[in-house]
């Protein structure tokens, strides 16, 4: 029987482990995680594998586990091991793996690298941008530019840090200048490298994610999903890794049409080809376009991930009816052209539950006990993926982030949301648990928002000005 080594410890890896563990290929699943995830542990136990606890970003640690397991292939879930060269290490040891080498993972690691690539290869859906090494230079640019901008850390810092500076005129007093400098400074502090701050033109519209699997020769798009990043209802509050996601029906979302899906796919595919030309290596893994439907371009790239989004993975993977574990093996080994994806047409809703304190106070959100009536939740038809929660003895202890994701697939969004909420009522803790009620309940508003943006970008297209910024100051701006 073939052995697979899965690297990573969150809910996304739990979903991947389930797909691998239920494959008709009968894979034996081994895990390398930084703590004992109860869901992954269950799959490892059932398939007769072994659970290794260690540093998933350490090349030496991974090499040691690879030598001990001698897997037939590997799957890497999170971005940090990719940035640390863990996929490179698998390949050095001759083990095919899902996940790009560290050079390819630059598409996620450095937002500046990503934007420069998009401009170099004239990839549609690119935004104007500037980058700065110092807070002062960035603040000066924001104050001099006559439009609205998004200020971001120049490197991936776990989805945190995006700030929008709108209505520039209102920032011109000394006090407001100080506010901008502080706000930009808080972002710069997140970044370790020299280039600290990325400033992009600000865009607005419904967001969505398109994951494309590629082995460098074939490309396979998966159904769209939409992540909900903010901590609180109605998309307000601090950014989190994602408090929930929706997917479907079919490959689309109710507010993204077939033509927009096709254009989004083209954008992600030509980006994957551009990465390969740039780094002179095959990109083998998942390239995930974090997209927005905007008036400027229609489908537009906000950022890229070199892996599955979490919780997007939990919304998509359970909808795949074909043997997804086998598809992962075909992807790792360069035979993706043989893969066929059949999906459940019905939509899915996934919501994350997090301990009080998340995302701002990790200590406060850590070391709380969680109880779940797992058999009952499963009997009700929900899927459970464990995230930042460790199995210690017989107890489940929170680790400071999103603890559990619950997924329901139903005939419509209303029913799926209702089911997730019922399943949530079977989870309790010795601290307050937070989750968003609105996820899956704002479809009509998003359809309306998309209609406005669609009208606008289609008119621009008809006038031949697609991609020309709408947000342009009278003197031509400073970009």
Give me the helices (H) in 30-76, please: 38-47, 59-69
- The interface with ligand GLY within residues 192-231 (CB under 6 A) comprises 227
Min dist CB 311 to ligand GLY, Å, is 6
Min dist CB 87 to ligand GLY, Å, is 17
Contact letters (x/-) for ligand GLY, 142-161, by CB under 6 A? -----------------x--
What is the distance in angstroms between the CA of the first residue and the CA of the last residue of the chain? 57
Percentage helix, strand, coil, to 5, in the chain? Answer: 35, 25, 40
Among the listed ranges 16-24, 309-317, 342-350, 370-378, the one in contact with ligand GLY (CB under 6 A) is 309-317
Cα angle at 161 between 155 and 162, to 5 degrees? Answer: 100
Among the listed ranges 47-55, 305-313, 371-379, 451-459, the one in contact with ligand GLY (CB under 6 A) is 305-313
Identity of the residue, 71 or 241, whose beta carbon is nearer to ligand GLY in the bound complex = 241
Among the listed ranges 88-96, 264-272, 308-316, 414-422, the one in contact with ligand GLY (CB under 6 A) is 308-316
Q: Which residues contact 321 (CB under 8 A, 6 or more apart)?
A: 342, 343, 344
Q: Which of 125, 216, 309, 355 binds ligand GLY (CB under 6 A)?
A: 309
Contact letters (x/-) for ligand GLY, 318-357, by CB under 6 A? ----------------------------------------
Among the listed ranges 304-312, 315-323, 327-335, 433-441, the one in contact with ligand GLY (CB under 6 A) is 304-312
Min dist CB 160 to ligand GLY, Å, is 10
Give me the helices (H) in 130-257, please: 135-144, 174-188
Min dist CB 71 to ligand GLY, Å, is 25
Spatial distance between the Cα atoms of 334 and 338, rounded to a whole number of angstroms: 10
Min dist CB 45 to ligand GLY, Å, is 27
Contact letters (x/-) for ligand GLY, 227-256, by CB under 6 A? x-------------xx--------------
Identity of the residue, 310 or 405, whose beta carbon is nearer to ligand GLY in the bound complex = 310
Residue (of 138, 148, 141) closest to 185 by Cα position: 138
Spatial distance between the Cα atoms of 358 and 158, rounded to a whole number of angstroms: 14
Identity of the residue, 147 or 311, whose beta carbon is nearer to ligand GLY in the bound complex = 311
Spatial distance between the Cα atoms of 384 and 257, rounded to a whole number of angstroms: 30
Contact letters (x/-) for ligand GLY, 407-446, by CB under 6 A? ----------------------------------------
Spatial distance between the Cα atoms of 359 and 366, rounded to a whole number of angstroms: 11
Dihedral-angle region of residue 449 (phi above 0 means left; psi in -120 to 50 means alpha; beta otherwise): alpha
Among the listed ranges 188-196, 231-239, 306-314, 339-347, the one in contact with ligand GLY (CB under 6 A) is 306-314
Q: Which of 310, 323, 405, 410 binds ligand GLY (CB under 6 A)?
A: 310
Q: Which residues contact 54 (CB under 8 A, 6 or more apart)?
A: 32, 34, 61, 65
Look-up of token digits 């919304």: 315
By the 8 A CB rule, do 199 and 132 touch?
A: yes
Identity of the residue, 200 or 329, whose beta carbon is nearer to ligand GLY in the bound complex = 200
Q: Which residue is nearest to ligand GLY (CB)?
A: 242
DSSP 331-391: HHTT-GGG----B--S-EEEEEEEETTTTT-TTTTEEEEEEE-HHHHHHTT-EEEE-SEEE
Q: How many residues does the chain have?
A: 479
Identity of the residue, 65 or 246, whose beta carbon is nearer to ligand GLY in the bound complex = 246
Residue 410, SS3 per DSSP: coil
HSE-CB of 34 using CA atoms within 13 angstroms: 14
Min dist CB 310 to ligand GLY, Å, is 4
Spatial distance between the Cα atoms of 274 and 281, rounded to a whole number of angstroms: 11
**Count of residues engaged in binding ligand GLY, rule: CB under 6 A:** 7
Min dist CB 111 to ligand GLY, Å, is 13
- The interface with ligand GLY within residues 379-408 (CB under 6 A) comprises none
Q: What does the block give as tokens for 408?
A: 């329901």
Identity of the residue, 215 or 310, whose beta carbon is nearer to ligand GLY in the bound complex = 310
Q: What does the block give as tokens for 169?
A: 């005129």
Q: What does the block give as tokens for 244?
A: 């929930």
| Number of C-beta neighbours around residue 305 at 10 A | 23
| Residues at the interface with ligand GLY (CB under 6 A) | 159, 227, 241-242, 309-310, 312
């Amino acid at each position: 029987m073939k052995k697979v080594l899965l690297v990573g410890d969150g809910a996304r890896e739990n979903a991947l482990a389930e797909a691998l563990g239920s494959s008709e290929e009968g894979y034996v699943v081994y895990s390398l995680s930084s703590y004992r995830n109860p869901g992954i542990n269950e799959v490892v136990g059932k398939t007769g594998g072994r659970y290794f606890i260690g540093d998933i970003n350490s090349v030496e640690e991974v090499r040691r586990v690879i030598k001990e397991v001698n897997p037939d292939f590997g799957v890497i879930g999170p971005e940090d091991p990719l940035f640390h060269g863990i996929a490179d290490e698998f390949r050095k040891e001759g083990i095919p793996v899902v996940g790009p080498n560290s050079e390819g993972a630059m598409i996620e690691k450095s937002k500046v690298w990503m934007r420069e690539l998009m401009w170099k290869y004239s990839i549609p859906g690119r935004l104007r941008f500037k980058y700065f090494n110092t807070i002062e230079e960035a603040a000066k640019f924001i104050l001099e530019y006559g439009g609205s901008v998004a200020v971001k850390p120049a490197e991936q810092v776990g989805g945190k840090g995006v700030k929008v500076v709108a209505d520039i005129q209102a920032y011109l007093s000394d006090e407001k200048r100080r506010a901008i400098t502080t706000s930009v400074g808080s972002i710069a502090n997140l970044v370790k490298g020299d280039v600290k701050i990325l400033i992009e033109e600000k865009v607005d519209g419904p967001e969505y994610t398109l994951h494309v699997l590629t082995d460098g020769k074939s490309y396979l798009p998966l159904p769209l999903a939409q992540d909900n990043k903010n901590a609180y209802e109605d998309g307000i509050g601090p950014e989190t890794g994602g408090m929930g996601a929706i997917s479907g029906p079919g490959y689309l979302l109710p507010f993204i049409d077939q033509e927009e899906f096709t254009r989004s796919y083209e954008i992600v595919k030509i980006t994957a080809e551009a990465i390969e030309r740039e780094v002179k290596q095959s990109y083998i893994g998942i390239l995930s376009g974090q997209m927005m439907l905007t008036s400027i371009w229609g489908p537009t790239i906000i950022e890229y991930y070199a892996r599955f989004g979490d919780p997007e993975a939990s919304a998509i993977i359970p909808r795949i009816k074909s043997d997804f574990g086998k598809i992962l093996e075909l992807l790792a080994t360069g035979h993706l052209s043989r893969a066929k994806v059949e999906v459940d047409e019905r939509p899915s809703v996934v919501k994350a539950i997090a301990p009080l304190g998340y995302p701002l106070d990790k200590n406060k959100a850590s070391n709380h006990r969680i109880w779940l009536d797992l058999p009952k939740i499963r009997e009700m038809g929900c899927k459970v993926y464990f995230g930042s929660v460790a199995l210690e003895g017989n107890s489940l202890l929170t680790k400071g982030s999103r603890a559990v994701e619950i997924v329901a697939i139903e005939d419509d969004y209303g029913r799926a949301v209702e089911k997730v909420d019922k399943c949530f009522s079977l989870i309790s803790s010795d601290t307050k648990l937070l989750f968003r009620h609105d996820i899956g309940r704002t479809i009509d508003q998003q359809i309306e928002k998309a209609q406005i943006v669609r009208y606008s970008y289609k008119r621009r297209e008809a006038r031949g000005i697609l991609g020309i910024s709408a947000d342009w100051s009278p003197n031509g701006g400073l970009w």
